[in-house]
Amino acid sequence: MAKITTNDLKNGMTLNLDEGLFQVQEFQHVKPGKGGAFVRTTLKNSRTGATIDRTFRAGESVERAIIDKKDMQYLYRDGPDYVFMDSETYEQMPVTSDSLGDSVNYLVESNSAVLMMYGEEIIGTELPAAVELDIADTEPGIQGDRVSGARKPATLVTGLVIQVPLFVNPGDRVKVDTRSGEYITRA
């Protein structure tokens, strides 16, 4: 494993600490008037998503985790597993929904995703910023009911329920932000 010092930290870097695998969200190098310098960090647990604040001495050695990013295509669902195909080797790989987290709400067959892997373990997914999904079920909009900014719940084909404007009907295709899960526009 690659050893680095806390002086080399960058945002997005993944560290293998005693408590687990953490991704650096923010870091700040502090040199007070008295005493030694230190590095204040905000770390996100790659497995659970929990965020912690941790302070390291300047120059302290930490272990950097090497994360492989594989471009995969989602093929189909096989019981509780989601089957992905590696875009380079065409090898198929079943993935549990626990490994994918909230990404399962935005996966539609033949969509691409980047799976972040630490060894053989999937620790996260990267999806496009927005995806287009079909509305499976929602109440039809009533003529004249056009209150500015009014919203109603709609169920997407993936099972995710989002708030959409009143004019959106079942069967419509909408663009959804994958980071916040919010409606962007009708596609």
Kindly state whether residues 136 and 154 are assigned to the same domain: yes
Q: Give me the pLDDT at residue 148, please.
A: 65
Q: Name the domain count of the chain.
A: 3
Q: Is the pLDDT of residue 42 over 90?
A: yes
Confidence class for position 1, pLDDT limits 50, 70, 90: low
Q: Which of the listed residues 64, 93, 114 is the one where a domain comes to its end?
A: 64
Q: Which of the listed residues 94, 126, 158 is the one where a domain comes to its end?
A: 126
Domain that holds residue 44: 2-64
* Cβ count near 157 (within 10 Å): 12
pTM of this structure? 0.72
Q: What one-character-per-residue DSSP string does 130-169 give?
A: EEEEEEEEEPPPPTT---TT-EEEEEETTS-EEEEETT--
Q: Where residue 39 sits, what CATH number does that domain have? A: 2.30.30.30
Q: Where residue 117 sits, what CATH number does that domain have? A: 2.40.50.140
Kindly state whether residues 23 and 57 are assigned to the same domain: yes
Judge whether 101 and 50 are in contact, CB under 8 Å.
no
Kindly state whether residues 88 and 39 are assigned to the same domain: no
Confidence class for position 185, pLDDT limits 50, 70, 90: confident
Kindly state whether residues 148 and 164 are assigned to the same domain: yes
